[in-house]
Amino acid sequence: MSTMDVTPDPATQQEAATPSWWRTFDRKLESLGEYLNPILVKETRQALKSRQFAVTFALVLLTSWIWSLLAIYFRYPGILYSPDGPFLMVGYLDILLFPLVVIIPFSAFRSLASEREDGTFELLSISTLSPRQIIIGKLVSSIVQMLVYLSALAPCLAFTYLLRGIDIVTIAYVLLCAFLASVLLSGVGLVLACITRQRHWQSALSVIVILLFIFLFVIGLIISYASVYEDASWREYDNPDFWSATAAFFSVYASYLYLIIEVASAQITFESENRSAGIRRGILLQHFLAIGWFGYLALRFPREEAILMTLTTILCLHWFIMGAFINGESPVLSPRIKRSIPNLLADRIWRNWLLPGPERGYFFVVTSLVSGLLIISGVAWVNTLNSLSTADAWLAVIYSAGLIGYTICYLSMGKLILQLLNMIFRADIFVSVILHLILLMGGVMLPLGFQVLTNRTLDPNFNHWTNPFWFFYEGFDDRSFVTTPLIGIFIFFLMIMGSFLFLLNLLLGSRNFLPNRENDPRFQPELLPPKVDNAADPLA
């Protein structure tokens, strides 16, 4: 039986010898895919293959097509001559906001909550992935879904630009804000998914979360209509102040996104790990951002002492909320955390604020508030060398001292009460937040109740000494309020009381304030239990 040699085609040999650039690029992409976060790959595959994504994506395409036909029908023939780009842009943006604000954040919430309900999260926790990698993988998976929805509506958005009335910068700016809002809400969904593990509480929480996202979607509809169609005065792209405000907004947004990622990562981290370090870095970053941006405004507009007073209000609100959570931390340090404490005393003191615990956290909050007061006083003094009057500078400093004194007193009293409660039961973070809210509401309601019981009327001249909101309102409304002698004496008393409560808390928590390093017994044979020699086997 004869055989015949088949000579290969020279063109095929040349193509196999010299692969095309597309094949080379495809191979490189495939090799780079091995370095991607496996959670990202898994979540993206599950999301894009799910029925929920298929239905939502089809509805987005269908509603955008219907809106295009209806808008052209109702605007015809004026659409041929008038700039109707903003009118169509509002409709497309509202269609896009539904998956960005409702569907994708709720999917991120359910993706983590379902794993904790079904018990599959334990498999992730024992893998080589860190908790931060798990959270970032799920968050980036949500970002991939956002990009798919944005690409679907890209032709429609380009159509609005061709209809005139809206520029490409506005389209890009609005879409970027919607995209960033969706990323932040997805992070919030991941945080809320870690609140509880019980299935019945997860069901109730799912209803609350979906209602929250629907409410935010309605708010987004109002904002989109007002910013795109109703009001165009904010589009000052040739004004440097607009871009400065944009940079401030993006920096604050980045700090909150970082804080959300750290909070979500801490909730799925083992209790033996340090779950407070990343969170405290985030809140300290926000502290410096607020001081930096408002300090820049105060130095640029030195005659406006209200800028420094606004900075004080923001710092007090920020640290009171964070302090209410920090005071409820567990005082127990695991052996793993103790082994990470530096040996050098100076280094141990410098990094002490990163260790978990209410004593160190309370000291961290109070020193941050005091540092804010010192910086505000320094900026006010610098502005007196420019054009700020000495009286206005003293107004800002006295107001800041009073409001910060209120904050320190309430946080100090809350921590003292929590120490008493810990003798009876373990007061966790939830109890701490509720306690601080009760203290604050008690300080607001106590003078109101006393005034009604004594005078049976609400006298506007009545002094609500325990109410920080009264001090805030009167300080902004009447500039001579904080300079009166009676208020000055009260602020001095408030600072003395805050200092006394601070020293009392520091004294009671001095035992746990600066912990010592604990060495690993595996590397110290003298700390290991003695070996017990086995008795000789009588049958040997």
Dihedral in degrees, nearest 10, Cα atoms 122, 126, 128, 134? 30
Worst-scoring range by mean pLDDT, 21-30, 61-70, 312-321, 365-374? Answer: 21-30
Instruction: Provide the residue count of the chain.
Output: 540
What band does 101 get if pLDDT is binned at 50, 70 and 90?
A: very high
Task: Please compute the mean of the pLDDT values over residues 481-490 and round it to a whole number.
Answer: 87
The answer to whether residues 319 and 212 belong to one domain is no
Do residues 296 and 254 share a domain?
no
Mean pLDDT across 124-153 = 86
- Amino acid 464 reads H
Residues 252 and 311 in one domain: no
> Two tokens at 225?
């209509």
Average per-residue pLDDT for the chain: 85
Let me know if residue 446 belongs to a domain: yes
Domain membership flag for residue 538: no
Q: Is 377 within the bounds of a domain?
A: yes
Of 219-223, 230-234, 421-425, 448-452, where does the model show the most confidence? 219-223
* Residue 72, C-beta contacts closer than 8 angstroms, at least 6 positions apart: 79
CA Rg value for the chain: 30
Q: How confident is the model at residue 429 (pLDDT cuts 50, 70, 90)?
A: confident
Rounded CA-CA distance 110/138 in Å is 11
Any domain includes 355: yes
* Residue 462 placed within a domain: yes
Mean pLDDT of 102-119: 85
* CA-based nearest residue to 504, from 345, 295, 362: 362
Which of 441, 152, 116, 440 has its CA nearest to residue 264? Answer: 116
Instruction: Give the DSSP H/E element, type plus range, for residue 26.
Output: helix 21-32
**263 touches 188 (CB < 8 A):** no
| Same domain assignment for residues 454 and 509 | yes
* pLDDT tens for each residue of 11-43: 555 555 556 777 787 777 777 766 677 788 788
CA–CA gap between residue 290 and residue 318 (Å, rounded): 10
DSSP 270: -
Whether residues 484 and 377 fall in one domain: yes
Q: Is residue 180 part of a domain?
A: yes
Same domain, 63 and 147: yes
How many domains is the chain built from?
Answer: 2
Rounded-to-10 torsion of CA 40, 46, 50, 53? 0
Q: Name the pLDDT band for 533 (thresholds 50, 70, 90).
A: low
* Same domain as 338, residue 252: no
> In terms of domains, do 197 and 325 share one?
no
Does pLDDT of 540 surpass 50?
no
Find the mean pLDDT for residues 182-190.
94
| DSSP 8-state symbol, 33 | G
**Has residue 9 been placed in a domain?**
no
Q: What is the pLDDT of residue 510?
A: 80
pLDDT band at 1 (very low <50, low <70, confident <90, very high): very low
Residues 248 and 374 in one domain: no
**CA 363/CA 349 separation, integer angstroms:** 12
> Does some domain include residue 19?
no
Query: Are 411 and 461 found together in one domain?
Result: yes
Instruction: Answer yes or no: are the C-beta atoms of 268 and 137 closer than 8 Å.
Output: no
Residues 49, 84: one domain? yes
Alpha helices, DSSP H, located in 49-167 = 51-75, 85-97, 104-118, 121-125, 131-152, 154-162
Count Cα atoms within 13 angstroms, Cβ side, for 204.
6
More confident residue, 129 or 197: 129
Contacts of 110 (CB under 8 A, 6+ apart): 193, 206
Same domain membership, residue 184 and residue 91? yes
Q: Are 284 and 158 in contact (CB under 8 A)?
A: no
pLDDT tens-digit series, residues 339-351:
878 777 777 778 8
- The more confidently predicted of residues 81 and 293 is 293
**pLDDT over 60 (residue 398):** yes
Residue that wins the pLDDT comparison between 425 and 11: 425
Query: Could you list the residue range(s) of the whole structural domain that residue 108 is in?
Result: 36-230+243-269
